[in-house]
Amino acid sequence: MRIPTLLLAAVAVSQMGATDCGNALRDPGFDLWCGDQMCAWKVEKGHVQKVATWNAGDPGVELVDSDVAIEQVSPVDSGDGSCLEFDLIADVDDNAQVALNLDVYDDGSIEHTETIPTSSWAPLTFKLPIQGVYRGMRFELTKKGSGHAVLAQIGAKITTGCDAFTPIVPAPAPLGAPCDAAIGCSTGTCEQTFFGGFCVGCTDGSCAANEVCGPSDPTSPLRELPRLCEPTGSRELGEQCLHDSECGTGICNFGYPQPTLEPGGEYGNCSACRAGDACGCDPAWAGGDLHGPFVCAAGTHAGAAGSACGDNADCASGTCNGTPRLQCDNDGRECATAADCPFDGLQNTPCSTVGIQGGSCE
Amino acid sequence: MRFLTLAAFVLVSFGAAAHAEPAVATYAIVVGSNTGGPGQTDLRYAEDDARRVAAVLTELGGYTADTVDVVVHPTPDQLRERLAKLAERVQADVAAGRQARVFFYYSGHARAQAIDLGATELPLAELRERLFKVPAALTVVVLDACQSGAFSRIKGAQPAADFSYSSRQHLDATGVAVLASSSGSELSQESEQLKSSYFTHHFLVGLRGAGDANNDGQVSIDEAYRYAYHQTLLATAETAVGGQHVTFEADLKGHGEVPLSYPRAATAQIVLPARLEGKTLVEDRRAHAVVAETYKAKGAAVRIAVAPGDYDILVRDGDSLSRCPVTAPGEIDLDRCRHEALVADVAKGGAAWADPHRYMMVLDLVVGPEHHDAYTQNLSAFGYNEDLAPAGGFALTGLRQVLDKIWLGGTAGLSSIPSWKHDVVGTDNLHQQLDWSVATAMVTLRAEDAWPVEWLSGYAQLSGGLGIGHSALAGADGMTYSSTNLGPAFAAGLGVHAHFRHAGFSAGYEYAGAYAVKDLIGNTHAAGGNRLVLGFSWGF
């Protein structure tokens, strides 16, 4: 198979420090509010509201309903450390049951639940060690019951001194997660590269005759694109690919000039032509070192009706029909919001509309 | 500075003769008693004053040593006995056809109706009766009486007025005049600087010649009174107790001047030359004792009768201080005077003209680490970090001396507390910052005493009052959230205070706290902590 070396380089870089001075959570004090919603935390269910804590200018979050859950995905990984120290300040009465759930890899499996005791703004500190290699974690705070529960602070910081505590043993790594050996992967396959291994669902030649082992749709900003057997020719013009056979056009173009030097640059895009073709084959969009599908006479308003396009400027009619393409600025993966994109520090990189996917000129 | 109070009573009665003549016998009983009665603090200089009075009477008053009876710390019975003996001697003189002159002096404590001679009293009525039974042609009675004084050996003015008034009514029939050291509503005072009572000191200086207004070589009772009146009032005007007015009432019908001393006839005199001007202090160089103190006006020479010997004359005119050596008898040679630097006001002893300051303003700069408590621990728990800069501010204190070594007043202060800052994790330079300060208004009690030299004092200070805490939290949303709280405040400190005339500097330690910064979850910060205090003071 073709090895996405630069992608793995990005993995390696992220493992050198995915925290903010050791802090694994963004806005641990619930200080950032976008209107009546938290900016850095996502409400999974229930209703929350902004309330004052020790000072009206230092807000916390009140978990209002009887079944509430908020979460934040963090890029913290084993490169940062394997001992997490939590500092928590809350005002929780007897009729509220508040818990902190840890979901290593953000794969939906809760590895550890820590019950937050009843307290009235008394600081609570505890440590949790994590065993082995991991990449990323989802922190979930839940409340059940009708009681009053206000969270003022939930800091998670990489530290030391966890030897005395029983470590959290992550479930086998999901697709796209880093691994040391096949046994560590839920798929049973750990693809080794120069920078380390990551769990894949297939390898070149392992798929059926009408399938090809290529990047599938992203599942978590923490992990690489899942490598799965995909039907041959199932990718539209503009989607990411590794092999020509993944694309409906039969062409997976790796860029111009190639290769690029950015993470994700090792993925190509399903294109209508190859760079250097006599038709004036150029990418239909470009953002930094990322690019879109290569089409003939890109951007010259020369495309006839029905010809491949990635942007309205590719068509003589000025209209390129297709699906708007939203992708992460960081690595070009498809996204709906920034929350789907890989992290830069503790923040997700932007998700931007770049052009048209599967387009044809009107 | 130290102020003692004293009440003096002078009662004078006159018989037929006013001039000391060879045919007139002279007698004096001079009584001093430092010991106070129940609830009274002992005096320090009453007995010394009595000895000084006796010395001046002998030296300048025409009395001989065997006719001056110095009675120190007597019991009532002992005093009765002395008065009885005196009466017998005068009776004998009268029988022999000689007129007699009697001088009675008393310095000590007194109550409304009696003088206190230690634990026992001698009723004033009895004293009057015994004195007036003495068949003298001229009787001079000086009572330097004091009433109970709480801290500073205050002598009561009330008995002075009481005694003076009733005495006058009683003595009118026999032509008696009354001289009192203070009015009926005033307290009289002792001075540690003079090591005497104000009144007795100036009364004696007047007798030494400073009171000889008409320069006839003798000091009459009128001259002595006028001199003592002005000098005592000047000296006590700025004391904590207040001005002391000497009163004099005399019935001298048909009589001329009554000389009390004859300074020109003294064996030695110091002549203050006509062109000398200023507040003048005569100091016995060997005894290091102040013999006389007067204001010498330009234009006429003044003679001060003293014992032969070496003296230093210190003359202060405005900010100029001169020291003039002189040997008595003799006149000051102004060309031999040398200028000296003025020293700071003294707490006790030293130059008598070092005016005691009744008021003091102190501007303190305070700096030190901020106190940590549950409030700041909560800030730490919420992820805030304290600035490295220390807390600092200033305090302005106004004080009035209310007792010896004790000052009372108020302090207003303002202190800035180090900011606490919290970076919002995962953002680019977004943070929350708490800025806060505390203002205080307190009552201040200060004890200060000279140590180990006169210009250097040690002090201890205690303040209590209210604090107003103000906090402003700049939130991550760009808004500022302010709050103001009120709470009790205190400060306790000690240090040293160097003072030079009006100005002074101090350095010390203080622990302060103002429980005036509160949060919404029940924590109160005691703003303050250990403080280094550097101050500038101004006394007036």
Which of A214, A264, A282 lies closest to A243, judged by CA?
Answer: A214
What is the tens place of the pLDDT at every residue in B145-192?
Answer: 654 222 222 333 233 333 332 333 332 223 455 566 665 445 657 777
Which of A295, A289, A238 lies closest to A265, judged by CA?
Answer: A289
Residue A207, domain member (yes or no): no
Is the pLDDT score of B275 beyond 70?
yes
pLDDT value of position A13: 39
- Residue span of the structural domain in which A55 resides: 6-158
Tokens of B25: 């016998």
> What CATH number does residue A112 fall under?
2.60.120.260
Q: What is the C-alpha separation between B165 and B149, in angstroms, rounded? A: 22
Q: Is the peptide bond before B329 cis (omega within 30 degrees of 0)?
A: yes
Lowest mean pLDDT among A267-276, B122-131, B371-380: B122-131
Cβ–Cβ under 8 Å, residues B24 and B101: yes
Strands in B242-319 per DSSP E: 247-249, 259-261, 269-272, 278-284, 289-296, 302-305, 309-317
pLDDT value of position A6: 40
Question: B383 contacts in A (CB within 8 Å)?
Answer: 28-29, 87, 153, 155
Q: Do A57 and B481 touch (CB under 8 A)?
A: yes
A129: contact with B, CB 8 A cutoff? no
Q: Do B475 and A27 touch (CB under 8 A)?
A: no
DSSP B109-140: EEETTEEEETTEEEEHHHHHHHHHHS--SEEE
Mean pLDDT, rounded, for B25-29: 89
- In chain A, how long is the greatest CA-to-CA distance? 75
Instruction: State phi, psi for A241 to the nearest 5 degrees.
Output: -155, 165
3-state secondary structure of B247: strand
B185: contact with A, CB 8 A cutoff? no
Facing residue for A29 by CB, picked from B382, B474, B481: B382
Mean pLDDT, rounded, for A146-164: 94
A345: contact with B, CB 8 A cutoff? yes
Residue A221, domain member (yes or no): no
Interface of A with B in 59-88 (CB under 8 A): 59, 87
3-state secondary structure of A330: coil
A27: contact with B, CB 8 A cutoff? yes
What ipTM does the predicted assembly reach? 0.78
Residue A58, domain member (yes or no): yes
pLDDT value of position B158: 31
Is the pLDDT score of A265 beyond 80?
no
Mean pLDDT, rounded, for A34-56: 94
How confident is residue A280, by pLDDT bands cut at 50, 70 and 90?
confident
Is pLDDT larger for residue A330 or for residue B113? A330
What is the tens place of the pLDDT at every residue in B417-426?
Answer: 999 999 988 8
The single-letter DSSP state of residue B471 is E
Residue A300, domain member (yes or no): no
Burial (CB count within 10 angstroms: exposed 0-12, middle 13-18, buried 19+), residue B169: exposed
- In chain B, how long is the greatest CA-to-CA distance? 118
Q: Do B425 and A32 touch (CB under 8 A)?
A: no
CATH top class, domain B3-265: alpha beta
Residue A318, domain member (yes or no): no
Task: Work out the minimum CA distance from A259 to partner chain B, whole angstroms.
Answer: 32
B478: contact with A, CB 8 A cutoff? no
Residue A357, domain member (yes or no): no
Residue A96, domain member (yes or no): yes
Instruction: Give Rg (Cα) of chain A.
Output: 23
CB-CB neighbours of A65 under 10 Å: 14
Task: Work out the minimum CA distance from A151 to partner chain B, whole angstroms.
Answer: 11
Q: What is the total count of domains within chain A?
A: 1
Residue A216, domain member (yes or no): no
Looking at domain B359-539, its CATH architecture is Beta Barrel (2.40)
Which of A52, A49, A74 lies closest to A64, judged by CA?
Answer: A49
Facing residue for B473 by CB, picked from A55, A87, A89: A55
Q: Do A120 and B521 touch (CB under 8 A)?
A: yes
Task: Determine the topology of domain B269-340 in CATH.
Answer: Immunoglobulin-like (2.60.40)
Tokens of A166: 């029983």
**Taking the model in full, what pTM does it have?**
0.59
List chain B domain ranges: 3-265, 269-340, 359-539
3-state secondary structure of B220: strand
Which of B469, B520, B224, B493 lies closest to B368, judged by CA?
Answer: B493
Task: Work out the minimum CA distance from A85 to partner chain B, whole angstroms.
Answer: 13
Question: B522 contacts in A (CB within 8 Å)?
Answer: 121
Mean pLDDT over all residues of chain B?
79
Q: Is the peptide bond before A259 cis (omega within 30 degrees of 0)?
A: yes
What sign does the CA torsion over B61, B67, B70, B76 have? negative
Task: Calculate the alpha carbon distances from A137 to A77, A87, B324 in Å.
Answer: 8, 17, 95
Q: What is the C-alpha separation between B304 and B205, in angstroms, rounded? A: 8
